[in-house]
Structure 1
Amino acid sequence: MDFRSSHRADRISVRRRVLLPLTVCSAVLAGAGLAGCSEPASQTSGPAASASAAAASDPGSRASGTRELEKDYQRVIQDVLPSVVQIDARSGLGSGVVYDNKGHVVTNAHVVGDEKEFKVTIATEGGDPMAAKLVAAYPEQDLAVIKLDQVPEGLKAARFGDTEKVEVGQMVLAMGSPLGLSSSVTQGIVSAVGRTVSEPRQGGSAGATLANMVQTSAAINPGNSGGALVDLDSQVVGIPTLAATDPQLGGSAAPGIGFAIPASMVRTVADQIIKDGKVTDSGRAALGVSGRTVLDDNFQPAGVAVASVQKDGPAAKAGIEAGDILVTFGGRQLTTITSLSEALASSKPGAKVGVGYERDGARRNVEVTLGEM
């Protein structure tokens, strides 16, 4: 499977697709990406529990349970949709979520791109678009904050939930502007948590590697990027960002596989941007090198060639030099620059990690104390 961003590229028919090589995606879903997943919940809590209990009895109760679930959906939509906006950038359309009553809106960095000014339409208002400007973007986590020039009366901020409490099997709704259709809502469940996914290369640079992503079966389509993934308590549990595609089907959508940045990371990044105008404490590990994937004699990915080493950075302090080929990280085999990014995404600053590398045909092993991105 590949991944595409859920950002609308234009207003008619062309959809911007961001793709990841099949080998990388397979490694994410079949290997390290599964390690952080929680077990399925043994029972459902909240509004869904009452519906399940009703469905277990007679047909009349099942019908009643269905109506109750419908009411839950409608209540959540009424609560949250006024906090979901459509963002119109020159490069296309995306979605955003009102973060506070001061006019800050959180979205994906790939929605804002390199632009500084935007038109924002509140999903439920249907009025004239409002002007907004970029506060800051943090592409490393694919998040950005923009701010309305004028805060409309009654602007409603969304409530962001606790990602630690998100459970597999939990019902969720995705809200945004897929394909430019504002105020759209899809429903599904949380399919997995703790996924690590890597975005494709953009503009010659490697895409962001995102850890602890929430996987959902709710439909995520181009234009949903930056919108809201919401639980039945009307809390935003994630920001929809990526949808999977299947290269065996010509890059067509792989139904029911979408990914959202967890609410905890959204709050961490947005709070720092609003306070300081930038991210000052990413909480993400760094090795202090730039590199590229190298191939073996059979033209297969075989490691990461170090192109440069940050002066006085973690790698430099451990003796790693430009020209070395990194082959292991924390006991995990490194084959591509993406595999290194994924390994770092699941690590913490200050952690001590064993790194294996080759220099002049000889294998060496060092312990590196990771820095912060």
Structure 2
Amino acid sequence: MEFPARRLIPAVAAAAAALLALTACTSSGSGGGGSSKSSDQGSAAPAPSVSNDLQTAYENTVKAVLPSIVQINASNSLGTGIVYDTKGDIVTNAHVVGSSTTFQVLLSDQSKPLNATLVASFPANDLAVVKLTNPPSGLKPATFGDSSKVEIGQIVLAMGNPLGLSSSVTQGIVSAVGRTVSEGKSQENPQGATIPNMVQTSAAINPGNSGGALVNLSNQVIGVNTLAALDNNEGNAQAPGIGFAIPASTVTNLADQMIKYGKVTDSGRAALGITTRTVIAQGGDGSQTTGAGVVSVTSGGPADKAGLKAGDVITKLGGTTVDSVQALSEALAADKPGQQVPVTYLRDGATKTANVTLGTLQ
């Protein structure tokens, strides 16, 4: 069975090299500041007692949250989802649903799959909502936490269905917050998704985990597990202990819109209103440079209003150099709709600048 429900990325924003150098450690000790004295007979110091409090907290969180975790079978993939409400809405990743509109959903306590249909998908943030056709009584929605309260070093559990092993749990910590992460291209999103403000974790995320829950020990979902990193220096092998989750506040904001309107109406993310591809352009002095080549411009959109045209090559957004489509997406992820930014571009070998009032990513 294929499990393309977790994307592996070749780079992580502008800090990929630094990311891959990080080592997550979940153990802690006394700090080595104390010493123990042996008796005259040379007897060993007594072994420190181990508290059961942490283990109990783990077990309680698993019991509380795992009933809200489901398995989603799409036409060509298997992934995970999180029960969002008692009406049968389930949140997952857009790349889990892919181009499918109907699904089989397996609840944590049932052996018979249930039918579900697509509510909406928003590939730009890799989020989607599906809904059970006949939701059973007793559905247990997960509790989503406040992303602003997520702290580095916080213990977390990743829950999902890695490699089809249903209701699996892995453990780690929050390694970083506020990461901007770029996914690879897909049929649903040919330019690839660039997702801001992601939570980085050392908890293992494997194929089939996508769409599952990253949970704190207060039984709250703090993120939706989405992807893991690849180490370019190791032949694109998975970089151990580097996974990413979409923060809970983003999930609830977008999911609420998809459930209410059938689409995302306000992503809160900036856009130029263009489609692009990475190109090599020649300047007026004969030098070559890479940039984001404009393939098409949305009529009446921000770039169109500022005078940009198909064939222009964007080389800078504000003060950020743009040498690829991914670089442009990452630069836009740091801006907000309504913000005015200078866009530097090449047209017929000449360098030009236009002030663009950014629109909203749809």
TM-score norm. by structure 1 comes to 0.84
Q: 1:175-190 alignment to 2 at 5 Å? A: 175-190=159-174
Q: Aligned residue pairs: how many?
A: 344
Report the counterpart of residue 44 of structure 1 in structure 2. Answer: none
* RMSD over aligned Cα atoms: 2.9
Task: State the AA in 2 paired with 1:291.
Answer: T
Structure 2: unaligned runs, 5 residues or longer: 21-26, 37-44
Q: CA separation in 1, counterparts of 2:260 and 2:70? A: 22
Q: Of residues 296, 300, 325 in structure 2, which corresponds to 1:312?
A: 300
Q: CA separation in 2, counterparts of 1:228 and 1:300? A: 46
Report the counterpart of residue 63 of structure 1 in structure 2. Answer: 49
Residue 112 (1) aligns with residue 97 (2): yes
SS at match of 1:78: helix
Which runs of structure 1 show a deviation greater than 6 angstroms over 4 or more consecutive aligned residues? 55-61, 297-301
Q: 1:339-358 alignment to 2 at 5 Å? A: 339-358=327-346
Q: CA separation in 2, counterparts of 1:367 and 1:219? A: 44
Report the counterpart of residue 336 of structure 1 in structure 2. Answer: 324
Report the counterpart of residue 363 of structure 1 in structure 2. Answer: 351
Quick one: structure 1 residues 60 and 363, their matched pair in 2 at CA, closer, same or farther if it must change by over 3 Å?
farther
Residue 206 (1) aligns with residue 191 (2): yes
Residue 215 (1) aligns with residue 203 (2): no
Q: Of residues 253, 259, 273 in structure 2, which corresponds to 1:274?
A: 259
Report the counterpart of residue 102 of structure 1 in structure 2. Answer: 87
SS at match of 1:63: coil
SS at match of 1:280: coil
- Structure 1 residue 221, shift from structure 2 partner: 0.3
Q: CA separation in 1, counterparts of 2:66 and 2:5? A: 25
Task: State the AA in 1 paired with 2:183.
Answer: E
Structure with greater proportional helix content: 1
Quick one: structure 1 residues 356 and 120, their matched pair in 2 at CA, closer, same or farther if it must change by over 3 Å?
same
Q: CA separation in 1, counterparts of 2:298 and 2:206? A: 39
Quick one: structure 1 residues 300 and 253, their matched pair in 2 at CA, closer, same or farther if it must change by over 3 Å?
farther
- Alpha carbons 1:215, 1:259 under 8 Å: kept: yes
- Structure 1 residue 271, shift from structure 2 partner: 0.2
- Structure 1 residue 310, shift from structure 2 partner: 1.7
Report the counterpart of residue 146 of structure 2 in structure 1. Answer: 162
Deviations 1:57-88 (A, max 9, x none): 999996343x1100000011011000000111
Q: Percent identity?
A: 54
Name the stretch that deviates more: 288-297 or 77-86. 288-297
Q: CA separation in 1, counterparts of 2:46 and 2:288? A: 60
Q: Of residues 2, 19, 25 in structure 2, which corresponds to 1:9?
A: 2
Report the counterpart of residue 38 of structure 1 in structure 2. Answer: none
TM-score norm. by structure 2 comes to 0.87
Report the counterpart of residue 193 of structure 1 in structure 2. Answer: 177
Residue 87 (1) aligns with residue 72 (2): yes
Residue 288 (1) aligns with residue 273 (2): yes
Structure 1: unaligned runs, 5 residues or longer: 1-7, 35-47
- Structure 1 residue 90, shift from structure 2 partner: 2.2
